[in-house]
Chain A
């Protein structure tokens, strides 16, 4: 199994509060991603990173920001959580020349 750790794994938060999800990898892979999974939509890309301090938007980036200050860590921040951001969030990693994209175990976020 790829060394990907997501934290927290489960969180309940109130509308309007900031939330940060952390993804930590031990594989030294260049690329890191944040996806969200919702019923009927499969997984959708939020943001991704192609190196330290290099990030870009994905398909559903509104309301989210990311940071990558170290190769091993990729943070996803909801500045002011809304109920529409209740979802399961997956971190993923991949190498520059690899085919396989490895996913973390997911973080369940509920915004009430």
Chain B
């Protein structure tokens, strides 16, 4: 069965430092996609980054990068140079091959990140 696990309920990071948010996944499908979303206190879900299972390189989007380790089934989000506005809840999510190219996602429980000034 598909599963996403985020083992860090909450994390702190000092402003301007880098932080890694952990995500492990489980699927038997060789074709899948991994997503990270940010949810600030206002509640909206903001798409950050996507990694396909066949992508050769780790995905990057500005200060966000995804450390994709396929053999370990991990897809950690790295935020470089943290800013106060990065304080939010972060969700890892997966879509496997059976879902095609749809938005049928399995979400992790989320990690709350607090950036300290």
When chains A and B are docked, how far (Å) is the Cα of A45 from the Cα of B4?
A: 14
User: Interface size (B, Cβ < 8 Å)?
Assistant: 21
Residue of B nearest to A88 (CB): B43
CB atoms of B103 and A106 under 8 A apart: no
Instruction: Give the contacts of B43-69 with A (CB-CB under 8 A).
Output: 43-45, 47, 50
CB atoms of A105 and B47 under 8 A apart: no
Known A-B contacts A43-B91, A100-B47, A102-B47; the reply to A33 vs B109 at CB < 8 A is: no
**Interface assignment of B25: CB less than 8 Å from any CB of chain A:** no
User: Interface size (A, Cβ < 8 Å)?
Assistant: 27
Residue of B nearest to A59 (CB): B106
CB atoms of B102 and A31 under 8 A apart: yes
CB distance from A44 to the nearest CB of B (A): 7
CB distance from A109 to the nearest CB of B (A): 13
Chain A 76-102 per-residue mask, 1 if CB under 8 angstroms from chain B, else 0: 000000000000101011101111111
Chain A 17-51 per-residue mask, 1 if CB under 8 angstroms from chain B, else 0: 00000000000000101000000111111001010
Chain B 85-96 per-residue mask, 1 if CB under 8 angstroms from chain A, else 0: 000000101000
Chain A 52-84 per-residue mask, 1 if CB under 8 angstroms from chain B, else 0: 000000110000000000000000000000000
Residue of A nearest to B52 (CB): A99
Known A-B contacts A33-B103, A101-B35; the reply to A42 vs B45 at CB < 8 A is: no
Chain B residues contacting A88 (CB-CB under 8 Å) are: 43
Residue of A nearest to B91 (CB): A42
Output the residue of A59, A101, A103 with the most chain B CB within 10 A.
A101
The chain B residues found within 8 Å of chain A, CB to CB, are 4, 33, 35, 37, 43-45, 47, 50, 91, 93, 101-110
Q: Which 6 A-B pairs have the closest CB atoms?
A: A42-B107, A101-B103, A103-B45, A94-B103, A43-B107, A106-B43
